A and B are shown apart, each in its own frame.
Chain A
Amino acid sequence: LAKTTQPISMDSYEGQEVNITCSHNNIATNDYITWYQQFPSQGPRFIIQGYKTKVTNEVASLFIPADRKSSTLSLPRVSLSDTAVYYCLVGDLDSNYQLIWGAGTKLIIKP
């Protein structure tokens, strides 16, 4: 099972772009990279998922280099409501929940 490494915490300001990088050196060929967001007292919520290159949706972009040993979640123009913990996970599409959840990155957005 691939293990991920993320910064423990990050600070930024409203209106800024925030990039959170995750390393996953032993990612397997069939593994996808998925990011979740968790607010206090709530369950995690799916943000974005990708396999290679770049994926963009209405809330974030995910950049994955060719070697796939890392990935970067990009949040454009953050607001105070983006303060949360962000988790990076890797696993194949049929991993039967055998995904390892690290401590995530605690992102604090300041006014």
Chain B
Amino acid sequence: NAGVTQTPKFQVLKTGQSMTLQCAQDMNHEYMSWYRQDPGMGLRLIHYSVGAGITDQGEVPNGYNVSRSTTEDFPLRLLSAAPSQTSVYFCASRPTGGSGNTIYFGEGSWLTVV
């Protein structure tokens, strides 16, 4: 059971480039989300999805797009990278129904925009 898998682990982008962070989970979780974490800070929610075909904005959605075509996958797209988007990105998933706030996180993707 792989849990939540993110790729790539590390990426360097030039300002203005676009890229997609991949996220996949094999736990059949309906809820998936993307967070960013800046040094010394807590996580901030970028986008989330409550099921295939449904996405919504979190706290800091600007500059990012998401899609949820399948239950398993939830990619995050940076449209035109900016230095302010240099951060660590975490994908997460959560089961529904009686499991409380138990969220499963991926290992993180370190993104540097130069």
Residues of A within 8 A of B (CB): 32, 34, 36, 41-46, 49, 87, 89, 91, 93-104
Contacts and interface: CB of A to CB of B under 8 A. Distances in A.
B43 A93 contact: no
A96 B96 CA distance: 10
B49 to A, nearest CB: 9
B100 A96 contact: no
Interface residues of B, number: 29
Nearest to B98: A93
A45 B42 contact: no
21 contacts: A34-B100, A34-B101, A42-B108, A43-B90, A43-B105, A43-B106, A43-B108, A49-B100, A89-B101, A93-B98, A95-B101, A96-B50, A96-B56, A97-B33, A97-B48, A97-B92, A97-B94, A99-B45, A101-B44, A103-B40, A103-B41
A99 B101 contact: yes
Contact of A97 (B4, B58, B104): B58
Contacts of A89: 101
Contacts of A46: 101-104
B102 A43 contact: no
